[in-house]
Chain A
Amino acid sequence: MNRQFTEMLKGVLEGVVLALLSVQPAYGYEITSSLRELGFADIAEGTVYALLIRIEQRGLADVETVPSDKGPPRKVYSLSQEGRAHLEEFWRMWSFLSTRLSELRLKEKQT
């Protein structure tokens, strides 16, 4: 995967994870696999894990510990009230960015 894409992904990864959590609560491993299915094939499990811890620390997600059939209990993350607000803010910024970029592209084509 090329460098530029990795850099771009870094900027939106948190938003993407929040968006995934807004669909349904999930644990780290599930988030990583959803991201991979979405096409972020190169995403590291540790990166997602670190991001989830960050999201938890900032109160954007609630954490519930559920027993696992295999090994130690798992942490299941669900979006908190604050997380929802944060996600909305993310989408606002995202549409702003994508609208502006499409406009720019349109201009570029016209000239």
Chain B
Amino acid sequence: MSLTKLISAVVGDKRRWCAYRARAEKLPEKYRSAVAAIERYLLYFVPVDDDRAVAMFEDLADLFERGALEGTSIRDIVGSEPIEFLELFARNYTKGGFVPDDERARVLRALTPEDESASSLPKKALRRNRWVEYLIADRHSLPLSIALHLVPGALVVAAYALLAEPFVKAIRYPAFLAWASALVLVLAPLQVCLLRLGHAVNGRLSIRGVVHYLDRPLSRGKALATIAGLIVWMTTVSLALTPLDNLVFTKLFSWLPFEGVGGSATTYLNGYSHSTLLITMLVCLPLTGFSLPLIEELYFRGFLLPRISHLRWGAPVLNTVLFSVYHFWAPWTVLSKIVFLFPAVWLVWRRHDIRLSIGMHVGTALLMSGAGTIALILGVIP
């Protein structure tokens, strides 16, 4: 049975239910995800009557809103035995319920966040410096968020101009390789930063608590279907909007000094030998086709997006726009990027499942660079 069906069967009063949902969505991330997990768990119980069914969730929201205000940790709210708390809580409103083992395990996982079990050690908390606190806070201020979105892009251009381009030109390889190298030079340290923040939070190498939307709330089938849809959308729309990119390029950006800018995806490969191109593609495939988009998703969707979610729908809009602008090395593609990226960003924000945008971004990148490499091997591209 789908969750929405279950809700309408279990929760009679839709207006009160929606009011509860809106309150739950407004909570800071760690409280929000705890409430979401508990909500899912409680739906396995049979309510005494319609009124109690909704009252249960309203009281749940009360409890966590107060907790968020006082800054109480999840651990202090649900205790060391969260299941016992949940059973006690549910008994006030329901005739009992049967919760499958895997659901029990799931709620336990969600209610014992690694970041909290570690941060309850006072030593750990003391060792964190102010910047780490700013970065891993539930919210980023608008200026901070804008800077965190855009600075990596500026660094990529700097890394390209200062290091990658001179080097790649010296070994006579196409600019494409230089851009990939510049991205690696910036995104690999960025990933290390995420892991270090994760270490500060968890006391071990993990990105939980730093990167959000990792709880996989969607079923595997639903996630895969959504990803497939998004890949089709991104591929068709990005191809369809190539004329727009070209127009913007010739009108505004033809002055850019980079080698092989603009035009189709293959222009900057022209003029190199087949073996050079093949080596370039093979070197770049695991990077531009996999790791780089993955890091971008973890950083932009997992780390930055949830920390501006207090802007409500403004969060996915701002994140899409800023992420598109972040591609300073291809400013003529910003408009089309906004269009083909937005559905994925919106869905991640709405469904709290980062697999959607990772699937789309990595999937499309693999598809494109895989197809390019195969075409090159087969000699379709001369």
State the A residues within 8 Å of B (CB). Answer: 1, 6, 28-29, 42-47, 49-51, 53-54, 57, 70-72, 74
Contacts and interface: CB of A to CB of B under 8 A. Distances in A.
Nearest to A56: B92
B62 A45 contact: no
A46 B65 contact: no
A66 B153 CA distance: 51
A41 B67 CA distance: 17
Q: Max chain B CB contacts within 10 Å: which of A1, A28, A46?
A: A46
Main secondary structure of the interface of B (DSSP, over half): helix
The 7 closest A-B pairs by CB, nearest first: A44-B79, A50-B89, A71-B69, A46-B85, A50-B88, A45-B77, A46-B77
19 contacts: A1-B80, A6-B81, A44-B80, A45-B72, A45-B79, A46-B63, A46-B77, A46-B79, A46-B85, A46-B89, A47-B79, A50-B91, A53-B59, A53-B92, A54-B91, A54-B92, A72-B62, A72-B65, A72-B66
Contacts of A47: 79, 84-85, 88
A54 to B, nearest CB: 5
| Interface range on chain B (Cβ under 8 Å from partner) | 20 to 34
Main secondary structure of the interface of A (DSSP, over half): helix
Nearest to A44: B79
A42 B85 CA distance: 12
Contacts of A57: 92
Contacts of A71: 65-66, 69
A44 B89 contact: no
B184 to A, nearest CB: 46
Contacts of A29: 66, 70
B154 interface: no
Nearest to B72: A45
B78 interface: yes
Contact of B85 (A50, A53, A54, A70): A50
Interface string B38-74: 0000000000000000000001001101110110100
A45 B85 CA distance: 9
A75 to B, nearest CB: 8
B69 A44 contact: no
Contacts of A44: 76-81, 85
B254 to A, nearest CB: 56
Contacts of A42: 79-80
Contacts of A54: 88, 91-92
A57 B52 CA distance: 11
Contacts of A72: 62, 65-66
Nearest to A55: B92
A50 B63 CA distance: 9
B39 to A, nearest CB: 14
Given A47-B84, A49-B59, 20 more contacts: A28-B66, A42-B79, A44-B76, A44-B78, A44-B79, A45-B63, A45-B67, A45-B72, A45-B79, A47-B79, A47-B85, A49-B63, A49-B89, A50-B91, A51-B88, A53-B59, A54-B91, A54-B92, A71-B65, A74-B66
Contacts of B77: 44-46
A8 B91 CA distance: 19
Contacts of A51: 88
